Amino acid sequence: MGTDWTKIQKKFKGQWVALANDEETVLASGANAKEAYDAALKAGHKEPILAHMPKELTAYVGSGL
């Protein structure tokens, strides 16, 4: 199905996170994507995955049209 980022979202609300290849390990975070990415690179991680954590979780149900 996909990775559940609920715990990550609760800790990093409104922030950008740089994730490891397992898509669960947070390598760095920041107020914007560049800040998170640069922090991950500085820590020695070569290809972090970037994701923005929303301030609030909302449900979405697709229409299937």
| Cα–Cα distance measured from residue 13 to residue 16, given in angstroms and rounded to the nearest whole number | 9
pLDDT at 64 over 70: no
End-to-end CA distance of the chain: 21
- The reply to whether 27 falls in a domain is yes
In one-letter notation, the amino acid at residue 62 is G
In the chain, the amino acid numbered 14 is G
Count of the separate structural domains present in the chain: 1
Residue 64 domain-assigned?
no
- The pLDDT tens digits for 4-24 are 889 999 999 999 999 999 999
The parent domain of residue 16 ranges over 6-52
pLDDT for 23-54, tens place per residue? 999 999 999 999 999 999 999 999 999 999 99
- Tokens 């994507």 correspond to 33
